[in-house]
């Protein structure tokens, strides 16, 4: 709601300013999934809610059909009365401002009509349609007679996400049947036709093609933007379409939350969604769920982050954060006010200090999509599976050595600015460790090879310049320094786990997971949290930008050795 408050309650407001309320921005996009269920949690509404949560959204769900299914197939489908569907839809829209809707299994024409009629007046800014027709197991989830209704629905949404078989149905007509495209260029031609005839943006999915690549594309009547991807060798693909469409709805709504006046950049959303999805596909099998086509691990990145923090509880960090949050809840409970989570405005009013608490953890969560992108970079994938080109690895090491030399200077600056002796000592120790690491890189790995001592790349320079630019304010500086600790620890968990007998980078991978470095990371997080709690909102805003920018520099640093972009 962005309206001026005119209710009787507002008339009683004690302060004149309170009668002119501009809606605050919610802390997360509010995303509604309208879809069927999967009791094993891999597809449908369950997958949608996990995806929305994993990418930082607030998930809501309206059930179209109850599906008795598991990873091996569908047993039966129960569809409640369409009137009850409408009641669920109204219950949400009567009460909650919806930033994005994802439409999944719609089952049959009466349900499609009911959803269309509801969409008309409610009109959330983003509507994504996954035109679910047949499950991976081959079971039908849409009445054949409802295909025309889905074609018509395509015109009323912002993005439609067909797989190859669904695309062919959508471009067919009652009179002319179009065959499923067999090649990527045929698929693009069909997607273009769909975009032209419906006026809707199409996310064309290459999951059902053969080959080592797994591209997707954003197709409009006038442009085709391909987003490349690697095919993961896994049978854990149940619910990939559901998860991708929910990811797109969430990421698009997040774009609008941050920049309400800009157009949605679907290509940027797809890049981030695909990077996250690739990680979720890679980690799915380890969940050991089901004997058929298992699910993805939607929370793979969150799980890794939690491990990084909780593995070093000794430092008292995680406990400190939880204790703070617990106290706040208890205070609200005692006041009989609930937790305020149903209303961001109420939450902010009840807890004006919320931005001071768990500051670092919240910045970390805000970079979930970027971290998924980092994990999916060719450099890190190659380092994990041993296929990385040796010269790309040596190039990285040489740049890392150059970076560490400058990074040590900035750490020393943090020591000079530190408000306490403990913090002064921590940063001084960290500066010394960075210099030792730089020296050992040269001694043990790069040797006297002249190629191993190049000029700093544009990316290395940009990163160290960014750190140096933060050096006037302690809060900003420590926020800028934190990603180097935290991301390195986090990425290291998966690198260490990939080590095996005979791994070509085994000795390098063996150095990750050092408990002393994890403890230093925990200490750096605690220091940054204290700095955020001690300062004002404006400085915290600068800290947030400094942290986010360092995360981007970290990503770019890992990307250059294999892409060559920013290497000059």
Ligand X SMILES: Cc1ncc(COP(=O)(O)O)c(N)n1
Residues that bind ligand ATP (CB under 6 A): 136, 163, 205-208, 214, 216, 229, 231-232, 234, 237, 239-242, 244, 274, 277-278, 281
* Structural Rg of the chain based on CA atoms: 25
Distance of closest approach, residue 157 Cβ to ligand X, in angstroms: 17
Cα separation, 376 vs 562, in Å, equals 12
* Residue 36 is a binding residue for ligand X (CB under 6 A): yes
Please, what's the b/e burial string for 496-514 (b: 16 or more CB within 10 A of its CB; e: otherwise)?
A: eebbeeebebeeebeebbe
Distance of closest approach, residue 450 Cβ to ligand ATP, in angstroms: 41
Question: Which of 210, 175, 205, 208 has the alpha carbon at shortest distance from 190?
Answer: 205
Distance of closest approach, residue 564 Cβ to ligand X, in angstroms: 36
* Shorter beta-carbon distance to ligand ATP: residue 230 or 394: 230
Distance of closest approach, residue 39 Cβ to ligand ATP, in angstroms: 16
Q: What phi and psi values does residue 55 have, to the nearest 5 degrees?
A: -100, 15
* Shorter beta-carbon distance to ligand X: residue 238 or 257: 238
Per-residue DSSP letters for 381-436? HHHHHT-S-HHHHHHHHHHHHHHHHHHHHHHHHHHHH-SSHHHHHHHHHHHHHHHH
Choose the catalytic residue: 206, 241, 279, 284. 241
* Residue 89 is a binding residue for ligand X (CB under 6 A): no
Choose the catalytic residue: 51, 64, 198, 240. 240
Distance of closest approach, residue 412 Cβ to ligand X, in angstroms: 53
Contact 165, 134 (CB under 8 A): yes
Active site (annotated) includes residue 102: no
Contact partner, 521, from ligand X, ligand ATP, none, Cβ < 5-8 Å per class: none
DSSP secondary structure code for residue 535 in this structure: S
* Residue 136 is a binding residue for ligand X (CB under 6 A): yes
Cβ neighbour number for residue 422 with a 10 Å cutoff: 10
Active site (annotated) includes residue 205: yes
Residue 306 vs residues 70, 148, 309, 470: alpha-carbon distances, Å: 28, 46, 5, 28
Task: Candidates 107, 238, 257, 357: give the one binding ligand X (CB under 6 A).
Answer: 238
Contact partner, 151, from ligand X, ligand ATP, none, Cβ < 5-8 Å per class: none
Please, what's the b/e burial string for 109-144 (b: 16 or more CB within 10 A of its CB; e: otherwise)?
A: bbbbbbbbebbeebebbbbbbbbbbebbeeeebbbe
Choose the catalytic residue: 154, 214, 242, 484. 242
Active site (annotated) includes residue 109: no
Question: Which of 482, 468, 461, 469 has the alpha carbon at shortest distance from 531?
Answer: 482
Contact partner, 544, from ligand X, ligand ATP, none, Cβ < 5-8 Å per class: none
Contact partner, 207, from ligand ATP, ligand X, none, Cβ < 5-8 Å per class: ligand ATP
Distance of closest approach, residue 189 Cβ to ligand X, in angstroms: 24
Active site (annotated) includes residue 154: no
Cα separation, 49 vs 568, in Å, equals 43
* Shorter beta-carbon distance to ligand X: residue 43 or 52: 43
* Shorter beta-carbon distance to ligand X: residue 140 or 453: 140
Contact partner, 483, from ligand X, ligand ATP, none, Cβ < 5-8 Å per class: none
Q: Which two tokens stand for residue 52?
A: 């929305």
* Residue 135 is a binding residue for ligand X (CB under 6 A): yes
* Residue 241 is a binding residue for ligand X (CB under 6 A): yes
For residue 67, the cross-strand partners are: 77
* Residue 131 is a binding residue for ligand X (CB under 6 A): no
Q: What phi and psi values does residue 108 have, to the nearest 5 degrees?
A: -155, 170
Cα separation, 322 vs 299, in Å, equals 20
* Shorter beta-carbon distance to ligand X: residue 77 or 350: 77
**Burial of 307: CB neighbours in 10 Å, binned 0-12, 13-18, 19+:** middle
Contact partner, 38, from ligand X, ligand ATP, none, Cβ < 5-8 Å per class: ligand X
Task: Candidates 26, 29, 44, 382: give the one binding ligand X (CB under 6 A).
Answer: 44
Catalytic residues: 205, 237, 239-242
Q: Which residues bind ligand X (CB under 6 A)?
A: 35-38, 43-44, 67, 69, 104-105, 132, 135-136, 141, 238-239, 241-242
């Amino acid at each position: 709601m962005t309206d001026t408050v005119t209710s009787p309650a507002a008339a009683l407001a004690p302060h004149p300013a309170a009668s002119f309320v501009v809606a605050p921005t919610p802390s997360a996009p509010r995303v509604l999934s309208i879809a069927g269920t999967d009791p094993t949690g891999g597809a449908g509404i369950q997958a949608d809610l996990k995806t929305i949560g994993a990418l930082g959204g607030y998930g809501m769900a309206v059930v179209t059909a109850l599906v008795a299914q598991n990873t091996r197939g569908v047993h039966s489908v129960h569809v409640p009365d369409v009137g009850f569907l409408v009641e669920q839809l109204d219950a949400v829209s009567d009460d909650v401002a919806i930033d994005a809707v994802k439409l999944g299994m719609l089952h049959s024409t009466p349900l499609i009509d009911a959803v269309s009629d509801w969409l008309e007046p409610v009109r959330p800014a983003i509507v994504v349609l996954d035109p679910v027709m047949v499950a991976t197991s081959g079971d039908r989830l849409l009445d054949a007679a409802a295909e025309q209704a889905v074609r018509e629905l395509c015109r009323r949404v912002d993005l439609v996400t067909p797989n190859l078989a669904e695309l062919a149905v959508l471009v067919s007509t009652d009179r002319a049947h179009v065959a499923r495209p067999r090649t990527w260029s045929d698929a693009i031609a069909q997607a273009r036709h769909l975009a032209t005839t419906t006026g809707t943006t199409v996310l064309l999915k290459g999951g059902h093609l053969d080959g080592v690549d797994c591209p997707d594309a954003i197709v409009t009547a006038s442009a085709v933007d391909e987003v490349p991807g690697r095919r993961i060798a896994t049978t854990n693909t149940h619910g990939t379409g559901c998860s991708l469409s929910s990811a797109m709805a969430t990421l698009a709504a997040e774009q609008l939350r941050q920049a309400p006046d800009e157009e949605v950049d679907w290509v940027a959303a797809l890049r981030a969604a695909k990077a996250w999805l690739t990680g979720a596909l890679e980690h799915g099998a380890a969940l050991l769920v089901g004997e058929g086509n298992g699910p993805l691990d939607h929370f793979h990145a969150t799980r890794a982050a939690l491990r990084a923090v909780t593995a070093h509880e000794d430092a008292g960090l995680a406990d400190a954060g939880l204790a703070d949050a617990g106290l706040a809840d208890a205070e609200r409970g005692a006041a009989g006010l609930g937790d305020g989570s149903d209303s961001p405005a109420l939450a902010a009013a009840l807890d004006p200090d919320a931005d001071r608490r768990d500051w670092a953890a919240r910045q970390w969560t805000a970079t979930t999509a970027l971290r998924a992108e980092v994990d999916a970079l060719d450099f890190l994938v190659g380092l994990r599976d041993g296929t990385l080109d040796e010269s790309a690895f040596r190039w990285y090491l040489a740049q890392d050595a150059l970076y560490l030399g400058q990074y040590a200077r900035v750490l020393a600056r943090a020591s000079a600015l530190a408000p306490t002796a403990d913090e002064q000592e921590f940063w001084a120790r960290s500066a010394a460790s960075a210099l030792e690491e730089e020296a050992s890189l040269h001694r043990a790995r790069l040797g006297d090879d002249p190629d191993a001592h190049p000029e700093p790349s544009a990316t290395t320079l940009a990163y160290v310049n960014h750190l140096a630019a933060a050096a006037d304010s302690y809060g900003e500086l420590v926020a800028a320094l934190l990603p180097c600790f935290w991301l390195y620890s986090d990425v290291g968990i998966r690198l260490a786990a990939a080590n095996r007998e005979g791994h070509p980078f085994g000795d390098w991978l063996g150095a990750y997971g050092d408990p002393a470095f994890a403890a230093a990371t925990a200490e750096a997080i605690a220091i940054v949290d204290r700095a955020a709690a001690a300062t004002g909102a404006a400085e915290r805003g600068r800290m947030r930008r400094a942290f986010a920018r360092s995360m981007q520099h970290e990503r770019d640093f890992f990307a250059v050795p294999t892409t060559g972009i920013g290497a000059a």
